[in-house]
Chain A
């Protein structure tokens, strides 16, 4: 564990001491090396499921894919930010990279935490660098509002979680995840136990986000700079899912009845947010709502509490992380050239940037869950497990898949085909950096097709 954490921390002095010419090259390559080392975590050889542990940090098949995703994203974020940060003074560039590294550090600690309180502290700690990135480097004036929404929605959900965890610690004696798997099932009879159950889950549901409490997401995604959007969509939402999976092992048998409204909200949210996507004019907002839609599916999968549901949730989280991040990068390439996000003004890009069209095509196909891409595997697993939970859900999930396909195709057709407006004929061609970025996003997805057991979580290894 330390062999990842110490290099990540040492990246911070690196960014401040490197001469200006080498700043971006060095940080990108060092973070790439760290990401490659993190692939070592994929070897799980311990019986109780937790490997490479010390007292406070350990990895298990649930957290490993998310950890690798986090480490992989850092070089990608740095690559993506290179262009829009370059006009700023060098110290601001250095502080931007430092914030990204700090966020990475907290995320690694959060995913590998063995004790719930440490997970909680790191969960909250990731909010601060993200808030600073959104409010300081965002593009529009609404970013202050977006930052406030982001912070307060998340904190309102997570403060009850703190109290709930402290109550749990009082009863159990310790909150180490290693021992939490073996606690006796608790008896829940009174109203306050039900409120405790809700308190445990609410923080993660807000973070996921669940449909009714998702308002912070489109605002935060649209106003954040590209690296902020990438990390928000890819990893921070998954923190919610990961937390939910960890804590639901304790919450039976109450969850059978109490999860009913949340599963319904999640499934309905898939359809609602999908339909909103079809009417969006802002490209980034479209991708943000598609994130809410996919995460609704993940929430439904986790709340059914079946092995297939969990597995589907993990696969969908990883695959969605990579694909969403790729879509945001693509949207950013458009934004950097035309400085607007309106779909009407960036039409017909195929004639101008043909190679980008390939990437748009692949990313949109992955988003709509074309077989054999892992997105489909995740969605299928979840659909099957919700079908098992109740036969009627197939209506909602099937309709949701259809709407997902239609808005992904809509996004592709709007940006690539159709008549080209005359004002964008003079755009400069794609940088090879951008092509590299897209390739690095989509290659892991393609490679995962060949060994999906890596991301199946507890249930199959």
Chain B
């Protein structure tokens, strides 16, 4: 797990220069915030694995068995990817970056923590994960409602989607990976289409219809897919996750998650 920590640190270091390319005060502020949060998270992971080694003598990260270490690791990784209630850095950081860097931040940077999360999946605490998931979905939905900046909207949508991913981790980790893959695809589409139309606010999206109608249609379809409407692909992870939740006798959780999907859909529709 020392190697895991080193890997995470290196990826953080690598993206910092990319973020500070624009000599804009907001970009520098974003880079600073990002660095601080990621470093904290990485330190917490190191601390968690040390605790585990002290208590159980086990260094391998996929065999963390002590509940304290597991909880600490989950919280640290949640901070890294931006799950609520540790999500506060994500909207501002994304706002400060240009669209390409934001794309890398939302997609590639999520892969490494998720690899770790997948590995510790069997040992995780069910209640904690469900709490994190529901909170993220709710905050992601509510927070995005009042936004007009596209990057902040994508940040809140990322928080909500991560909530969905984390909630099923304890029961069926493969669904988490499926959700992550589809989310990466859809978010990349969104970022790239925004970059092509050079839109950073909701108002500027309105002119794409006259410039490139196919692009506008595509943007709309992928927004609807992000919202999880059948029969678009975005529905599939939500459906499967709800199915798994009901199989595990958690229908109330399933209903709450489904309702929060409506919240996100509202701000996608604009």
- Kindly provide the distance from the CB of A274 to the nearest chain B CB, expressed in whole angstroms: 32
Name the one of B224, B251, B262, B266 contacting A159, with C-beta atoms under 8 angstroms.
Answer: B262
Q: Are A128 and B229 in contact (CB under 8 A)?
A: yes
Min C-beta distance of A325 to chain B, whole Å: 26
* Residue A307, interface by CB 8 Å: no
Q: Mark A394-428, 1 if CB is under 8 A from B, else 0.
A: 00000000000000000000000000000000000
- Tell me if A177 is interfacial: C-beta within 8 Å of chain B: no
Q: List residues of chain B with CB within 8 A of the CB of A170.
A: 246-247
Contact A160 B269 (CB under 8 A): no
Q: Does A338 contact B (CB under 8 A)?
A: no
Contacts of B261 in A (CB 8 A): 159
Q: Contacts A148-B269, A159-B262; is A167 near B235 (CB within 8 Å)?
A: no
The residue of chain B having its C-beta at the shortest distance from the C-beta of A127 within the complex is B229
Q: How far is the CA of A313 from the CA of B254 in the complex (A)?
A: 33
| Smallest Cβ-Cβ distance to B231: which chain A residue | A125
Residues 110 to 131 of chain A near chain B (Cβ within 8 Å): 120-122, 124-125, 127-128
A residues in contact with B242, CB < 8 Å: 162-163, 166
**Chain B positions within 8 Å of A26 at CB level:** none
- Residues on A with C-beta less than 8 A from B269 are 148, 151
The answer to whether B56 has its CB under 8 Å from any CB of chain A is no
Query: How far is it, in angstroms, between the C-alpha of A152 and the C-alpha of B264 when the chains are bound?
Result: 12
- Asked if A156 is at the interface (CB within 8 A of a chain B CB), the reply is yes
A160 to B262 Cα, complex, angstroms: 12
Task: Find chain B residues with CB under 8 A from A128 CB.
Answer: 224, 229, 232
Contact A162/B258 with A148-B269, A170-B246 known, Cβ cut-off 8 Å: yes
Q: Quick check: is B265 within 8 A (CB to CB) of the other chain?
A: yes
The main secondary structure of chain A at its interface with chain B is helix
CB-CB under 8 A from B243, the residues of chain A are 166, 169
Query: Bound complex: CA of A167 vs CA of B224, how far in Å?
Result: 26
Interface SS of chain B: helix, strand, loop or mixed? helix
**Which residues of the other chain, A, contact B235 by a CB distance below 8 angstroms?**
121, 124
* A254 at the binding interface (Cβ < 8 Å): no
Q: Mark B182-216, 1 if CB is under 8 A from A, else 0.
A: 00000000000000000000000000000001000
In the complex, B255 has a CB within 8 A of chain A: yes
Inter-chain contacts of A120 with B (CB < 8 A): 230
Q: Which of A97-142 contact B (CB under 8 A)?
A: 106, 120-122, 124-125, 127-128
Inter-chain CA distance A160–B251, complex, in Å, is: 10
How many chain A residues touch the partner (CB < 8 A)?
Answer: 23
Q: Is A1 an interface residue (CB 8 A)?
A: no
Residue of A nearest to B209 (CB): A136
Question: Per-residue CB proximity of B229-254 to A under 8 Å, as 1/0?
Answer: 11110010001001100110001001
Pair A152/B266 contact, Cβ less than 8 Å: yes
B218 at the interface (CB under 8 A from A): no
Closest CB-CB distance, B181 to chain A, in whole Å? 21
Chain B residue at minimal CB-CB distance from A159: B258
Please determine whether B246 and A124 come into contact, CB atoms closer than 8 angstroms: no
Q: Verify if A155 is at the interface (C-beta below 8 Å from B).
A: yes
Known: A159-B261, A162-B258. A121 touches B231 (CB 8 A): yes
Contacts A151-B269, A152-B262 known; A163 to B229 CB distance under 8 Å? no
- Say yes or no: B266 contacts A163, CB within 8 Å: no
Q: Does B13 contact A (CB under 8 A)?
A: no
User: Can you name the residue of chain B whose Cβ is closest to the Cβ of A167?
Assistant: B246
Q: Which residues of B contact A166 (CB under 8 A)?
A: 242-243, 246-247, 254
B6 an interface residue at 8 Å Cβ cutoff?
no
When the two chains form their complex, are residues A155 and B262 in contact, meaning their CB atoms are under 8 A apart? yes
Check if B259 is an interface residue, CB within 8 A of chain A. Answer: yes
CB pair B230–A121 under 8 Å, yes or no, is yes
* Alpha-carbon distance between A152 and B246 when the two chains are bound, in angstroms: 24
- In Å, the complex CA distance between A124 and B235 comes to 11
| Complex Cα gap A124–B247 (Å) | 23
Specify which of B251, B254, B265 lies most central, judged by the most chain A CB atoms within 10 Å of its CB. Answer: B251
Instruction: Report chain B residues within 8 Å CB of A169.
Output: 243, 246
**Please, which residues of chain B bring their CB within 8 A of the CB of A148?**
266, 269
Give Cα A121 to B258, complex, Å: 15
Select B265's contact among A91, A155, A160, beta carbons within 8 Å: A155
Chain A nearest Cβ from B71, distance in angstroms: 29
Which of A124, A160, A162, A167 has most chain B Cβ within 10 Å? Answer: A162
Residues of B within 8 A of A192 (CB): 251
Known: A155-B262, A162-B242, A162-B258. A167 touches B230 (CB 8 A): no
CB closest residue in chain B, given A95: B217
B251-A163 in contact (CB<8A): yes
- List residues of chain B with CB within 8 A of the CB of A163: 242, 246, 251, 254-255, 258
Chain B residues close to A by CB (< 8 Å): 213, 224, 229-232, 235, 239, 242-243, 246-247, 251, 254-255, 258-259, 261-262, 265-266, 269
15 further contact pairs, Cβ within 8 A, besides A91-B213, A124-B230, A166-B246: A106-B231, A128-B229, A148-B266, A155-B262, A156-B259, A159-B258, A162-B239, A163-B242, A163-B251, A163-B254, A163-B255, A166-B242, A166-B247, A166-B254, A167-B246
User: What are 28 A-B pairs with beta-carbon distances under 8 A?
Assistant: A120-B230, A121-B230, A121-B231, A124-B229, A124-B235, A125-B230, A125-B231, A127-B229, A128-B224, A128-B232, A148-B266, A151-B265, A151-B269, A152-B262, A152-B266, A155-B265, A159-B262, A160-B258, A162-B239, A162-B258, A163-B246, A163-B254, A163-B255, A163-B258, A166-B247, A167-B246, A167-B251, A169-B243
The 4 closest A-B pairs by CB, nearest first: A159-B258, A166-B246, A125-B231, A124-B230
